[in-house]
Amino acid sequence: MRVLVVEDQADLVEILLDGLRAEGMAVDGALGGADALEQLAVNRYDVVVLDRDLPDVHGDEVCKELVANGAVPRVLMLTAAGTLDDRVAGLSLGADDYLAKPFAFAELVARIRALARRANPAIPPVLVHGDLTVDTARRVATRATRRLDLTAKEFGVLSVLLGARGAVVTSEDLLERVWDAHTDPFTNTVRVTVMRLRRKLGEPAVIDTVPGAGYRIGRP
């Protein structure tokens, strides 16, 4: 899952980025509406957490532009004003959900995950492939009842591949879905992560390499 957090308070952005990354999300930050629009033009996001009261390009304008462009990401609007009229106004602009400040971090995480499920084809919360089970909600992966000690990126790659249901996923897609904008697009980090993941999964092999195309989950 890839998320963009748009908020003009730098300290709050850092707290949210650290917290959401700890939850296994690939997260970028933008300190204003103009910065957000630039990042949205070049990156694909599942969810945008958008502060409504931005000082440069107002959050309302960012939301309107996303809707006008037919953009894919779901929008979770944040605001210090929590009245019914404010919520209705935000949703009327095209936001998918609304959260008033101050908010509990656990609720923010739950709402982001709920919106991400709506942004992508529905994937069961528990993915099963042969003797491999991945619980995406609890972030637990097991094989033959043995719990796998996976990093956040390894878990993300495995979840994306299992969610593709046997379809080929390119390295570029994995880089976009699991990593953030600071990752060098020419890096070999995807190949290295898949190599380490294969080693942890053990035999028989689960992940197939499709030469010139990418990776996919093989037959059980």
Number of domains in the chain: 2
Residues 73, 167, single domain; the answer is no
Give kind and range of the element (H or E) at residue 100: strand 97-100
Sign of CA dihedral 207, 23, 38, 48: positive
Which of 119, 137, 154 is the last residue before a domain boundary?
119
Q: What is the pLDDT of residue 180?
A: 73
Alpha-carbon 95 to chain mean position: 17
Return the CATH number at 101.
3.40.50.2300
Query: Does 184 have pLDDT greater than 80?
Result: no
Residues 98, 53, single domain; the answer is yes
Return the CATH number at 135.
1.10.10.10
Alpha-carbon 74 to chain mean position: 11
pLDDT tens profile 137-157: 788 999 998 999 999 899 999
Query: Does 82 have pLDDT greater than 70?
Result: no
| Contact criterion met (CB below 8 Å) for 24 and 110 | no
| Contact criterion met (CB below 8 Å) for 49 and 80 | no
What is the side-by-side order of every strand in the sheet holding 132-135? 126-129, 132-135, 140-143, 146-147
> Strands 74-79 and 97-100, how do they pair?
parallel
Structure confidence at residue 121 as a pLDDT band (50, 70, 90)? low
Arithmetic mean of pLDDT over the chain: 85
Of 160, 94, 86, 150, the residue nearest 121 (C-alpha)? 160
Whole-number Cα distances in Å, 34 to 61, 94, 115: 10, 18, 23
pLDDT tens profile 54-80: 888 988 889 888 877 766 688 999 887
Determine the structural domain holding residue 55 and report its residue range. 2-119
